[in-house]
Amino acid sequence: MSNEPLVLGIETSCDETAVGIVRGRTLLANVISSSVEEHARFGGVVPEIASRAHLEAMEAILHQALNEAKISLTDIDAVAVTAGPGLVGALLVGVASASGLALGLGKPIYGVNHLAAHVSVDLLAHTQEVKPTIALLVSGGHSSLLQVDDITSSVTKLGESMDDAAGEAFDKIARVMGLGFPGGPAIDRDARSGNKTAIDFPRGLTQSSDWETRPFDFSFSGLKTAVARYLEATPNYARADVSASFQEAIVDVLMQKAIRACASTGIDSLVIAGGVAANSRLRTLAQERCDKAKISLRIPEPALCTDNGAMVACLGSLMVSAGRAPSPVGIEAQSSMSVTTVSVA
């Protein structure tokens, strides 16, 4: 019998009800049920619908994960759950479920940060943790550049988006072009047949004065406006060219700033995490630019970039192994949990 911790992780911060199980850094199960189709006609996630969907899906997803991992509930050493940030009603379903399990089993609970969990999932594929590393975290709700000295205890924010998150920009522009929700995967697909240099869209916060005052912050609102104006002024626009040029503007800025963060901190390791890290163009460009700058790059496989339970279980397992204290019984959901708070103390 392995003495590595067997950890069950629950994720319900947005529209995915997900349960992952890991032993140490080995992934045993990763089951996801998404309510995305129920939100599609509203063009975005409707919190009430998401919460109800979590309630309806939770029990089945939990059992499916246990079956997949070929373990029973009583084998578990610890329960991890996303405590924030996210939609409060949605988070509550996960937190209440995890609390019930932990209490019933008499096992510790780790209420962890969704964003730190995104970054930590990279460690399922690697035995060696690189410390420190720069992390570019790009999801539907957040875009930040972080310095990670230890993913279980020390995350520092270098910069973040002043307005929309990168994923949010993808979703909004996709909606204007009738590409459906979520927009990121649709634009990624559409862009493959387009010309990324067809339209020169603006790169936010990359003027020379910005590099002095806001080197690691992002802004995508100017880009969004520029694309909307272009679409209005060009009734017969070539959609694939717009997708490719818009996508290029986003990933170019993300990578310019990530490389700069590595250079100015002297850290030659970069992890890219969150739903937008699944973007095929970002993955290619990141590799090119990191090779050139001699930065070692890690990006989790695409299925582990978007929301999942494995990342929550992974961070929980790392917390157990690092000897971090569990969270108190009766933890609350923290909808606006700061990216620098790794877990609920």
Alpha-carbon gap, residue 340 to 41, rounded angstroms: 34
Q: Among all chains, which residue has been given the structure tokens 């999932």?
A: 121
CB of 275 to ligand KG4, least distance (A): 2
Among 89, 4, 14, smallest CA distance to 275 is for 14
Closer to ligand KG4 by CB, 5 or 182: give it.
182
CB of 9 to ligand KG4, least distance (A): 15
Tell me which of 9, 140, 204, 316 binds ligand KG4, using CB under 6 A.
Answer: 140
In the shown chain, the binding pattern of residues 282 to 311 toward Zn ion, with x for contact by CB under 5 A and - for none, equals -------------------------x----
Closer to Zn ion by CB, 5 or 274: give it.
274
Closer to ligand KG4 by CB, 6 or 341: give it.
341
Stretch that binds ligand KG4, among 181-189, 213-221, 256-264, 334-342 (CB under 6 A): 181-189
CB of 153 to ligand KG4, least distance (A): 22
CB of 290 to ligand KG4, least distance (A): 19
Tell whether residue 17 is a contact of Zn ion (CB under 5 A): no
In the shown chain, the binding pattern of residues 187 to 206 toward ligand KG4, with x for contact by CB under 6 A and - for none, equals -x------------------
Tell whether residue 139 is a contact of Zn ion (CB under 5 A): yes
Tell whether residue 82 is a contact of Zn ion (CB under 5 A): no
**What SS3 state is found at 271?**
strand
Tell me which of 11, 122, 164, 171 binds ligand KG4, using CB under 6 A.
Answer: 171
> Got the DSSP string for 214-261?
-TT-B--HHHHHHHHHHHHH-TT--HHHHHHHHHHHHHHHHHHHHHHH
Q: How many residues bind ligand KG4 (CB under 6 A)?
A: 20
Among 46, 1, 41, 6, smallest CA distance to 23 is for 6
Q: Which pair of tokens denotes residue 284?
A: 């290619």
Question: What's the CA dihedral at 190, 37, 313, 134 to 10 degrees?
Answer: 30
Whole-angstrom Cα Rg for the chain: 20
Which H/E stretch holds residue 39? helix 36-40
**What SS3 state is found at 144?**
strand
Residues 6+ apart with CB under 8 A from 130: 269, 296, 298
Closer to ligand KG4 by CB, 14 or 53: give it.
14
Burial of 128 by CB count in 10 Å (0-12 exposed, 13-18 middle, 19+ buried)? exposed
Please, what's the largest Cα pairwise distance for the chain?
66
Stretch that binds ligand KG4, among 19-27, 152-160, 231-239, 269-277 (CB under 6 A): 269-277
Tell me which of 170, 201, 218, 246 binds ligand KG4, using CB under 6 A.
Answer: 170
Tell me which of 24, 183, 194, 204 binds ligand KG4, using CB under 6 A.
Answer: 183
Stretch that binds ligand KG4, among 103-111, 123-131, 274-282, 313-321 (CB under 6 A): 274-282
Alpha-carbon gap, residue 122 to 167, rounded angstroms: 20
Task: By CB under 5 A, name the binding residues for Zn ion.
Answer: 139, 307
Task: By CB under 6 A, name the binding residues for ligand KG4.
Answer: 14, 139-141, 167-168, 170-171, 182-185, 188, 274-276, 278-279, 306-307
